Structure 1
């Protein structure tokens, strides 16, 4: 059976809201925003005597990104995609803005180390790792759910020199069971 990810992103939270409303007496409010891309879920529990909000759970992303990065499963394609939005030679401050607008959490690292990991049939263990030491880079991390207990994780290191982007490295993996 082939499942549609956008449909699952919509149905799963709705099912959770229905279960919570039936079992815990919570009142769910569901709304779809940004053409089905993001789901806003607000679950409220009210005390009957004064309708005071006791519990609120919220997941929202409403901002449309002008410089939208398409997420790829292949690290080489993802590097190309990021370089389209963050060209070599551009300002590292602009790179941070673009990455954060696309859902990445970023931090500047000075004189640090990062590893670039690639699948490689000829390498021991099936992966090749390149270690970059003593470099200044912007580390950006983003995870997106791919299943109930599994997420895909993109780790991006954007090396810079004199405040300008020098290179982009991407590693992609799965987190969860």
Structure 2
């Protein structure tokens, strides 16, 4: 599974821009799994992810004629997927009015916690302990590789707010992972 690094022939994208069904099907088959994984991770629900994946491809196919750089299709699709998933989260959670907890005094080892999180086979199960906002931030940063600066732009908030929310989420995850390891011993 290559995800968004999957390359399709430029002719396929050009044919899809002209509405050719076979080309549209090829694009869907090449990228649907990557879109589903991305949006399901952000939303915390495979069912919601499936629904949103369909909406994303409907929107993509409608906007495809506007795409100027054929080779930018995968990154364009990924960016649109993230935005639509975040928009869906906004419908459920108000990013602006979310009450922030007190600043965490201690500074845990974020790199170690992130590495441990990436090694989990059941990352989705562990992340279900987070709020929707926290889960989206961790998923986009750890799994999808977005920087805090990029997340601030996508979420339309300050980078400091993103860092603070991410830090809190990692403290929760670290605590959960610690309990999990302790229980295994």
More contact order relative to length (CA 8 Å, sep ≥ 6): 2
TM-score category, normalised to shorter length: under 0.3
Structure number with larger C-alpha Rg = 1
| Larger helix percent | 2
| Larger strand percent | 1
TM-score norm. by structure 2 comes to 0.24
TM-score norm. by structure 1 comes to 0.25
